[in-house]
Amino acid sequence: MGAFKKPALPGNELFEAQPADVDPAERSAAGHRIATLLVRGPLDNADQQLVDRVLHLAESEGLSTIADLWAHASADSLAGSLWRLYALRTWVYRQSEQAAREFAAGKRFSPIDEVLAGVVDPPGPAEVIALVDTVVRGIIGDNFDVTLDRAAAFAHLVGVGRAHLEEDDAASAARLVETASALHAAAELERAGILH
């Protein structure tokens, strides 16, 4: 049996043409590296070049190209947290009226989450989109835990609102509350300095 070799983290070549059958472990490592660079910032010029390429790719191809690298990451990781933020933002953009309606319903049951989420009263579709964009813009910076907490509060309120408005959709309401719990747990890990 040969000696174990630690896989190299992908660098700038990550965004060069790749065959469709890329090793899932390589995709996962790339997703975690990109998540770390986006949240923690670049350490050197090579990292900055990769961040620039990621941002350019997000602008030209859409954030979904990058987010796909995070889709299978565990909830207690940077990549998993970014996936949940991305999924929440994508849903709000697609269903902004529903998100506003469910948020309004949910805030009657959890006023503390309403304050933390920071949506103006009454929240219409534009206000909910603005909130989610504000939360996601907070990814890079020293207060990533606050970003995660605000997203968790928002997801919790929407989940509670959905449970009250759509009694036949309890499963998706429960998934939103689970997403909120995962985001809040990630915020706690971030505060402890152990979210990687």
pLDDT per residue, tens digit, the chain (196 aa), is 444 333 333 343 434 444 456 788 888 998 899 888 888 878 888 888 888 888 777 777 777 888 888 999 999 999 999 899 888 888 888 898 998 899 888 888 876 655 565 555 555 677 777 766 665 565 656 788 888 888 888 899 899 999 999 877 899 999 999 999 999 999 999 999 999 9
pTM, two decimals, is 0.78
Q: Which long-range contacts (CB under 8 A, 24 or more apart) does 162-170 make?
A: 162/102, 162/105, 162/106, 164/105, 164/106, 164/109, 165/101, 165/102, 165/105
